[in-house]
Structure 1
Amino acid sequence: MAFDGITVAALAQEFKNKFTDGRLYKIAQTENDELTLTIKNGKAQYKLLISANASLPLTYITEESKPSPMTAPNFCMLLRKHINNGRIINITQPGLERILDFEIQHLDDLGDIRQKHLIVELMGKHSNIIFCDENNMILDSIKHVSAVMSSVRQVLPGKDYFIPDTMDKFDPLSVSKEEFFNTVFSKPINLSKAIYTSFTGISPTIAESICYAAKFDSSIPANVLEHGNQNLIWIQFYELMNKIKKGEFTPVIYEKDDLPVDFSAVRLSTHSDCNEIIYDDMSSLLRNYYAKKNLHTRMRQKSSDLRRVVTNALEKDRKKFAIQEKQMKDTLKKDKYKVYGELLTTYGYSIEPGAKKFDTINFYTNEPISIPLDPTISPIENAKKFFDKYAKLKRTNEALSDIIIETKKSIDYLETVSASIDIATSENDLKAIKDELIQTGYIKFKRTGKKEKIVNKPLHFISSDGFHMYVGKNNIQNENLTFKVANGNDWWFHSKTFPGSHVIVKCEGKELPDATFEEAARLAAHFSKGCNQDKVEIDYIQRKQVKKVAGAMPGFVIYHTNYSMAITPDITGIQEII
C-alpha cells in the first residue's frame, strides 16, 4: 500500500505528540533523496527518516543509524546553517494531502527569532523535501524541479511554495453530504474509482474497503446506485473520516503465509483471509513492514542463484528421464525380435527366396504371426539380424534399469532441495543448502580461505500438550534430526507424496496425545511442496522403523510399516520457539 493521506495523518499525529517542543540535534543527508533528523525532546531522543525516493517515499521514526557522506551535500549544509538546534513548534498536514509541514523556530545570525518550514511531500515520483522561510518562499529543496521538468510548478530557490493542483479533488475531512453525493454518484465509472478520484488522500485500497464494508461490489458504476444504497456508502465514508478527525487510528499489518501483504493506518474490511497484526503507532508498523518486505526481497535475490542451479539440474534430469523412459519402452519389444529369430531358425527352410514376409504360427502362443523380412538376404541372415536386435535391446534394458533409478533418485533429491529453498528464512539457511549442494556435487567447490562455520538450527515448535517438535530446513539437517537427535521411540513425520521436511516429535518416554500427532502432521504438510494444497497425506512412524540407505543422497530414508493421515497444512496456533 502506498503512503496515502490517512497514513500521513496518523504519522502527523504521532510526530506532533513526540516532537513538539523538541530540538533538531543532528541533520544528516544519508542518500541523495533522504534525510535523517535526530530530535531531542526532554529525555527522549528520536531518529526521523525522511525519504523522497520516487519509488518508495516514506517517513517514520527509525532505530537504524546509516552512515553519512564524508562531505555533506549543499541542501544538508543549508539546513544545518538555519535550523540545527531549532525547536519544532508545530507539525501539520494540509487537509488529507500527502504532505507534512514541520514548523521550526530558530535564532538567526543577529539572535532574532525566526521560523522556517521543512515540507515533506510524499507523492510518488513527485516526492520532495522543500525548505521554506516564514513567507513560504522556497530556500532550497532536495530535488530541483525546473520549468523544463514541469510547467505546472517549479521547485527552485526564490520561487513561492504552493501545494500542487489536486485536479479539483475535495478535502474528504470537510466535504458535505451533498457535495459527496453530487461528486461521487455522478460519475459513470466503478464505485471505488469514483471515491478515490474525488478526494485527496484516499487510496484505491481505502476506497475498496469502504465499498466492501457497505457490502457493495466496488466494480459497479457509481451513477447507477439507488439513493438508499448511496446513503450506505456515505455512512461508511463519514464514519471513517470522523475517526481520522478524532485521531482514532489503528495501525495494522495484514499478513498471509507469514509474508506482509498490506498495511494501513485504519482497519480494512477487504483482508478477511489475512492475519491482522495491530501496532501502537505507525512508525513501529512501518519499521516492521519494510524490514519483513526487505528480508523477503533480499532472501529472494540471494536464493536466486541456488534456485537457478537446482532448476537447471532438475530440467536436465527430467529431460534425461523422459528420454530414458522412451528408450525403456522401446526395449520392451526385445522379446518380439527373439521370437522372430527363433521362428525363422525353425521354419526358415520353407521360405521362398526374395519373400518380404513370413506368415506362420507362434509356437509360444499358438496364434498367427507375420514376420517382416529383408528380401535381399536369406531367412537365416534375417534371423541373425533379429537376434542381434534382441541382444542389443536386452543390454539397453539392463543398463537403463539402473540408470533410470539413479535419474529418478536425482530428481527426487533436487525436489527436496527446492522445498528447502522455499522454507529458508535466513541467509544461514541458504548457506547450509549451498554447502549441501557442494557436498552432493551440484555446485563446484571453490576454496576461498578458511571455511566459515554456519550456525543453522532446525525449526523448533512446542505442541499444545507440551511436546517438543523439530523441523529440518535442509536434507543434511533432516538426516541429522532423524538419526542423531531423535531416539528410537520418538515419532517421525513426512509428506507421503510431496518433497518436504522431516518432522521429529520428542516423546520423552510418554505417549503422544492425538492433538500432538495432528500438530506434527500439520507441520510436515506446511513445510512441504504440498503447502498450497487443501490437504496433504502425511506418513508417521516411530523413528526406529526409519532406515537410511547406504550411499543414498542426504535425507533419503526408507520405511515399510507406517500410519497415514490427511491433514491441512495450516500451522496457525502452533507455538514456535525462537
Structure 2
Amino acid sequence: MFTLDYITLKAFFLENKEFFENARLQKIQQPTRREFIFTIRNKQGTKKLYINIDPQIYHICFMSDDTYEKRGITIPQKPPMFCMLLRKYLESSRITKVCLPHYERIFEIYFDSYNELNEKITLCLAIELMGKYSNVILYNTDTKVILGCAHNVGSEKSRERELAGTLPYVYPSKQNKSDILRYFGKLDYDELNEYFLGISQSYQELFKENNTELETIKDYIEQKNVVYSPAIEGTKFSVYAELLKSPVLQNSVNDMIDNYFSDWQEKILIRAFKLKLRNIVSPKLKRLKTSLGKLEQQLRKKTSATKFKQYADLIMSNLYNNKDYIKEITVTDWESETDIRIPLDKKITLRENAQIYYKKFSNSKNDKEKLINLIDEDKLYVEYLEQLIFSIEVSNDILSLKEILLECRENNLIQNSKAQEKPKNVEVEKIDINGFEVYIGKNNKQNDKIISKISAPDDIWFHVQNNTGSHILLKVPNDKTPDDKTIFECCKLAKKYSSTANSGKAGVIYTKRKYIKKPPKANLGYVTYKNESEIIVE
C-alpha cells in the first residue's frame, strides 16, 4: 500500500486551507491512542477531521459517515488524558490559520486560546505524519513549550528530539537531501527518494513507471500550473490521475485520502475481527466434536437392550424346567433354533433373575435413548457452529461481523458483563436476477430475517444440501413466474455462498417459503422444509 506523502499532504492542505481558517473547533474525541476526531464548524458547514497516527496507516482527512462506519470507530466512555488536555485548551477555540512547513509532513493548526490566567494565547496543534514517528503535539507558539503529546518521546527513544510536556518544541532534524526545484541535471528514477526532498517511495515508483520529465516532477511538487485529478488504483493513489494506468477518479483530494485509507482500515479491522470471532467459535466447535465422538463411541459399545429382554423372556418360559439358585441355565431359543447359555445370580430365584434382566433391559433402553438424544442435540449444535464459522468467513463488512458477535453473546458463546453497543441493523444484500429481487443472507441473523420478515408464502427459498451456506430468497411477485434460467441462477448463487463454493458439484435444494418451518427453540437460522426439489450445480 501507499502511505501519505508530502505531495498528497500539500494537496490536501491547499484544497482545505480556506475551510480551516476562522472555523470553530466544536468537539474533540479520541477513539484510541492513535486516533482523533475534531468536529469543526464554519460558515460552510460542519465536518469531522480524522487524524490517524498509526505507523502503518497515518493520515489526515475529513471523513464521511460511510467511512466512519468502515473504520469501526467506537468512542470510549472515559476519554484519555491527552484528549482531556486538548478539550481544556482547544474546545470552542477559533482556528486562526493552518500551515504546512516546506517539505515536512507536519500539518499545523493554530488556535486562539486562553491560559489559566484568562490571558489570550496562541496554541499550535502539530500533526506530525511521519511513519513510526507520527505524533500529535500541542504547544504554545509564544514560549515554544509543549503542553502535551499523544505519546511522549524520551531520550531512550530519540537522543535528538525529546517530546513531552514542559519541554521545548523543535522541528525534526532536516534531512540531508536536496531540493529538486533547484536541480537541473539528469534524473535517476531509482534514487529520487534518496536524494530529493518531498519525493516518497510511492511517487518515485510512479515517476519511474511513467518516465516523468524533470520539469513535470517540479510542477507536481510545487503544485503550480497543475490541476488535481485525484484517483485510486488498487493499492496505489495519486493526486494526478495521469500517473496511474487504470485510475478511479475521486471527487477531491480529501475523498481520495478518506476512501483509500478507510478501505485499508476496514480490511485490517475485518481481518482482526474475523480472527477474534474464530477464536471464540472454533475452540468450542473442536471441544464439541471431541465430545460427540466420545458419545458415539459409548453408543457403539452399549449392549443391545433386546438381549436383556430375550434373556428375561427365556427364563420366564423355562421356569418349570429348571431349578432356582443356580449359576446359569441353558435354554433353546426357538426363533433362532439355537441353545443359549444365560448367566444367573445363584443367590436368588429364576423369577427374580428374570426381573433383573427386565430391569436391565429398561435401563439400557433408556440410557441408549438418552445417548441418541444427546448425540442428535450435539450434531445440531455442531451444524450451528459450523454455520457460524461459515458466516464469519463470508462476511466482508464490520457491521455484519458485529451482528455475529452479538449472536455469540446472545447464545452465551462469549461471557461479558459489560453493556455492549448494539450494532446497527444491516440490510440484507439484494441483487437483481432477470428482473427478480434475490436476497442473500450472510449470517444467521440475516438468514432469520429473510425467513421471518422479508419472505412471502410463494417466494422461493434456496440452500445448498447437507452443507453450511447462505439462505437465498427469490421474491416472486403475484404477476410473475420465474423461469428455469432464473431458478438455476439462484441455485448457482446458493452454491457460491456456501462451503461447497470451491468444490466440483453440489446439490442445491429449493422450495416455496410456505413449506419452510422454524422449529421451536431451534438455533438461529435453522429451518426444516418439505416439498423440495434438487438441482446439481457445478
TM-score range, shorter chain: 0.5 to 0.7
Residues 1:116 and 1:21: Cα distance change in structure 2 (over 3 Å): farther
Residues 1:517 and 1:535: Cα distance change in structure 2 (over 3 Å): farther
Render the CA deviation track for 1:399-456: whole Å, top value 9, x for unaligned.
4334322321222233334445554957698569857985x7879999x9xxx99985
Spell out the pairing of 1:172-321 with structure 2 (5 A cutoff): 179=188, 202-203=200-201, 206=202, 210=205, 235-236=208-209, 238-239=211-212, 245-247=218-220, 250-252=230-232, 254=234, 262=235, 264-265=237-238, 278-288=249-259, 310-311=281-282, 313-321=284-292
Partner of residue 377, structure 2: 406
Spell out the pairing of 1:52-71 with structure 2 (5 A cutoff): 52=53, 57-62=58-63
Task: Write the distance in 2 (CA, Å) between the matches of 1:240 and 1:494.
Answer: 58
Task: Write the distance in 2 (CA, Å) between the matches of 1:154 and 1:132.
Answer: 14
Q: Is the 8 A contact 1:119 1:131 kept in 2?
A: yes
In structure 1, the gaps of 5 or more residues are 107-114, 185-194, 214-233, 255-261, 350-361, 374-379, 568-578
1:150 to 153, 158, 173: 158
Residues matched between the structures, number: 483
Partner of residue 129, structure 2: 122
1:542 to 500, 511, 519: 511
Residues 1:199 and 1:536: Cα distance change in structure 2 (over 3 Å): farther
1:323 to 287, 291, 294: 294
User: 1:39 deviation in Å?
Assistant: 8.1
Secondary structure of 1:494's partner?
strand
In structure 2, the gaps of 5 or more residues are 69-74, 113-121, 221-227, 323-332, 344-349
User: 1:493 deviation in Å?
Assistant: 0.8
Q: Is the 8 A contact 1:146 1:155 kept in 2?
A: yes
Render the CA deviation track for 1:458-499: whole Å, top value 9, x for unaligned.
615231422112234555764564477544543221122432
Task: Write the distance in 2 (CA, Å) between the matches of 1:285 and 1:128.
Answer: 22
Aligned Cα RMSD in Å?
A: 6.6
Partner of residue 110, structure 1: none
2:460 to 491, 497, 503: 491
Q: Is the 8 A contact 1:429 1:456 kept in 2?
A: no
Task: Write the distance in 2 (CA, Å) between the matches of 1:493 and 1:263.
Answer: 40
Residues 1:458 and 1:562: Cα distance change in structure 2 (over 3 Å): farther
TM-score of the aligned structures, taking structure 1 as reference length: 0.58
Secondary structure of 1:463's partner?
strand
Residues 1:557 and 1:155: Cα distance change in structure 2 (over 3 Å): closer
Secondary structure of 2:434's partner?
coil
Render the CA deviation track for 1:152-180: whole Å, top value 9, x for unaligned.
34568667645454xx6787896965655
TM-score of the aligned structures, taking structure 2 as reference length: 0.61
Residues 1:253 and 1:38: Cα distance change in structure 2 (over 3 Å): farther
Q: Give the number of the structure with larger relative contact order, counting CA–CA contacts within 8 Å between residues 6 or more apart.
A: 2
Secondary structure of 1:533's partner?
coil
Task: Write the distance in 1 (CA, Å) between the matches of 2:532 and 2:128.
Answer: 66
Partner of residue 521, structure 1: 491
Residues 1:20 and 1:299: Cα distance change in structure 2 (over 3 Å): closer
Partner of residue 3, structure 1: 3
Q: Percent identity?
A: 18
Q: Is the 8 A contact 1:101 1:117 kept in 2?
A: no
Q: Is the 8 A contact 1:130 1:138 kept in 2?
A: no
Q: Is the 8 A contact 2:232 2:260 kept in 1?
A: no
Task: Write the distance in 1 (CA, Å) between the matches of 2:423 and 2:29.
Answer: 33
For 1:25, the aligned partner's letter is A
